[in-house]
Amino acid sequence: MINYTLKQLYSFEAVVRTKSFTRASKELFVTQPAVYMQIQQLTKNIGADLINTKGKTVTPTYIGKMFYQTCIDVIDTLEKSKLDIDQTLDPEAGHLQIAVATTTNSFVSHILAKFKKKYPRMSFYLDVTNRESLLKKLDNNEADLIIMGEPPTDMPLITQPFMENPLIAIAHPEHPLLKNQKNTIKNLTNETLITREQGSGTRITIERIIGMQLNSDIEINSNEAIIQAVQAGLGIGFVSKHTVKLELENNVIKQLNIDKFPITRHWYVVHHSKNKLSPIAERFKKFIVENS
């Protein structure tokens, strides 16, 4: 077993870098004999001279040069790991890895902006993707927290619902079906339907509720692009009401009355039950629930 101590590594690294026992001792806040003793012990442990003691300047021997690089690597790795741990444990400065369903994009940015204002020293990575990809991330443990609709029931998850997610049908303001008080699913048979891509939670839900697979000519993997397409008169789209608030207010698109719609579900904040949340993740989870 290797019996070098961290003190020995730090002392050796400082002596070689500063080329002086005096400067190294000042940097390490210890006496010069203390540094000398650490180098002597390290030399003994390694079994070879590490420092040329002849002459005025301190230089590493051939073995010393080799070992110096190892010291730098070990110290760098340890310092980085300490930084990561400190950031994770310090709720004001931690790092969050969040993955969210494409559809949540419209409100998650607002929640994150408020949270960042409260904890300015925190940092985050936001991954915006569809349901299928979120499920893979859950499986591979690739995010601290995931925000999605309808978490799977066959995985060991901790899930917390926090906000309603109404799915609606939208149409161009001059669409003939808008004249009907109530349309049935049958009324859609001859319409051009614009759907999200395979693997989207929005699409899966709509197919389940209307009881058939959407055989759509137009598949678009972005809610924003679906809204634009509906606005352009391309067909009828299905989106979460959250993504379309402004367009409805400005009457550039209309909500279509169809039997079984709006489909009301919830958003959930989700993580693996075997993962202990970091303090910042814990706070963010609480913040989402309280601020949405």
Q: Give the footprint of ligand PGA on this chain (CB under 6 A).
A: 101-103, 130-131, 148-149, 165, 196, 200-202
- Closer to ligand PGA at the Cβ: 51 or 147? 147
Cα distance between residue 250 and residue 85, in whole Å: 48
Cα distance between residue 33 and residue 13, in whole Å: 16
Neighbours of 171 (CB within 10 A): 22
- Closer to ligand PGA at the Cβ: 67 or 268? 268
- Closer to ligand PGA at the Cβ: 116 or 241? 241
Q: Which residue is nearest to ligand PGA (CB)?
A: 201
- Closer to ligand PGA at the Cβ: 38 or 102? 102
Tokens of 251: 């009457």
Task: Report in angstroms how near the CB of residue 146 gets to ligand PGA at its nearest.
Answer: 11
- Closer to ligand PGA at the Cβ: 148 or 280? 148
Task: Report in angstroms how near the CB of residue 279 gets to ligand PGA at its nearest.
Answer: 28
Amino acid occupying residue 108: V
Task: Report in angstroms how near the CB of residue 167 gets to ligand PGA at its nearest.
Answer: 7
Residue 95 CA to its chain's centroid (Å): 9
Tokens of 14: 């400082």
Q: Residues 6 or more apart from 276 whose CB is under 8 A from it?
A: none
Task: Report in angstroms how near the CB of residue 60 gets to ligand PGA at its nearest.
Answer: 57
Task: Report in angstroms how near the CB of residue 149 gets to ligand PGA at its nearest.
Answer: 3
DSSP percent split of the chain into helix, strand, coil, nearest 5: 45, 20, 30
Cα-based distances in Å from 66 to 5, 45, 69, 112, 232: 17, 15, 6, 47, 67
- Closer to ligand PGA at the Cβ: 87 or 102? 102
Neighbours of 54 (CB within 10 A): 6
Task: Report in angstroms how near the CB of residue 241 gets to ligand PGA at its nearest.
Answer: 11
3 state SS of 189: coil
Task: Report in angstroms how near the CB of residue 130 gets to ligand PGA at its nearest.
Answer: 4
- Closer to ligand PGA at the Cβ: 127 or 282? 127
Tokens of 71: 């010291």
